[in-house]
Structure 1
């Protein structure tokens, strides 16, 4: 059913969608997500830089035509002559660059700009995948928070009923009742907040996908955390330096700036063009009748710059400064990526350990509830002890769910830091999802 709904969306059927998993959400995002499509069109525009850079080095051919009617008078002494004649003609011009350092720099610059746009798209594509996963998981977390808040509210209501009956029988105190009421009211407030969070999370996912899913696949109960491959940070840092798309984009940005500096310095160099043309014209005047002109020309045109008011030198200095800025931006981007890679590497490792610890904490908290209830019946524990144990249990369950989602996002971010995040990584994260859960309020 889920895949059928997504296919229906791809075919243009009315929305909202039914069930959806992360892989289907990723496919749909690539098909119609407005932010993703914006990046696609940006890349398409960037592909034209290569053609634009090469165009000035190719032959430039222009054709012109004119058709004029002249009407006037000519005075010669005491004689006035009417001027009434036609003049028309055509001209064809060809210009081919033979030597022009500026245009050669523009040609190389066009290649670098196209590669820059490719790297930027790769970066945005991976950012889109991470952002989608984050928004998808936020919906799951909000849904889980609602379920836990309802369960906690129910448990506290039951504990309130127990405290109230104990007080009526003279076995409990008013303090126990007040504590139970306070915990119940706080649980009610948490439920309201969780429901609000779900509305916001669903809207953010809709904003990204263009559709509003009614249910999403949620997490498996069993959650494996295999070791990273490779399992040492240095290998990941080496890969990030080479393949991270943000670093690659910064490198191409430096190359573009370097060619801009060469282009500016080329203003001091002469240019040489091959020029050819053909002209045909016909006109009539009072002194010429049916005059026709036909001629062609072939030659070389040399242009030697002598002085431009200091503009070329100023442009050169400006371009060099911009190149230096691009190099510093590259250094900053490299450091930022390496810091992010380090953070996500340790995030995956510590995330796995945290999940194991929280799984133990959930089991321990559940046992604590049972012990507290038995102790309450035996008179060794108070109602507050039971409330505290239940609070701890539901907090641990929520923290465990959130830790699992953060672990998956950290793995995606780590893959993105080395430029390898793709469909297989999304499919791997999707493998942690199982039964569908309704996410409507």
Structure 2
């Protein structure tokens, strides 16, 4: 059953009951594929509270300390109050408080922020299956995303572009929820999120774009984005297998004058092999003889690598999988310009990767958006550049009148 926050912010002209019914219906009927967009119809009604986003902020929790003013714990008919903090232990069947086992789901509420092991969150918390889910109003969630995804010192138009993209990203996952208990988590695989006191610039960016999302043919788009395109974005089809017209590769000169436009890193061949062994791609330590690019996508990113090992063994590995094995923080993108293997000693080699950009390359380049804003483009022009054929509209109006 969907859990929607009751925090009162930004009342909207839409029936909240109808929104809940539609979202639950879509989850129940399996409307989760990113390749197939579904229309969402919501009737107009009395003013009600804005929808909330359910964000997993802790997974496989063990013992956590929750702090906040006037904490309230609710579990069925059980209601407990704590003046400022409570320690809870997560078990398979529920949450243990002292000698008492409270069966999932357990709700934690506070009149102000709730801290989890010192990290601040806004709204209510739901403890379920060893996960902690933050139920937060949509616009407050966007402020928390921007606080981690971009610098508050960036130009306002770049922040506004990010606000629209992050709101679109979240709303798409509310509509296409794959789990009835939550919409997304707070990792880079979705959007980083942590509630902080927002800077004036971030608050202004969110408020000035209140309710605005990207629309393609009457539907909320899948607004993917990344850090830096390295001069050319990637087509969604090449990474995520969905051919979305608004997420096709384009030249992006604005991303060539920023951090991570160019990068390189080195890795010892023995460590390289060890990581492949740990990931299950090869059995046992073997000597590396060579590595080269086997194929590229239409944007120039590496699709496959070919690796030679001792004994005549060859390994063909997907580019993105190798990037994850090595680590995306050092292996910043697949827009590789050079791979060099240099001998270190009789048994070891150094592999040097050089390339451009940071991230998967699909959708908006955050650093490119910054440069565009510094060059005088407004946020709508930035969004039109990266998401071709889309328009910016208030999502309530679009859902009412697609």
* TM-score of the superposed pair, with normalisation by structure 2: 0.23
- The structure that is strand-richer by fraction is 2
* TM-score of the superposed pair, with normalisation by structure 1: 0.21
Q: Which has the higher contact order (CA 8 A, sep 6+)?
A: 1
User: Larger radius of gyration, structure 1 or 2?
Assistant: 1
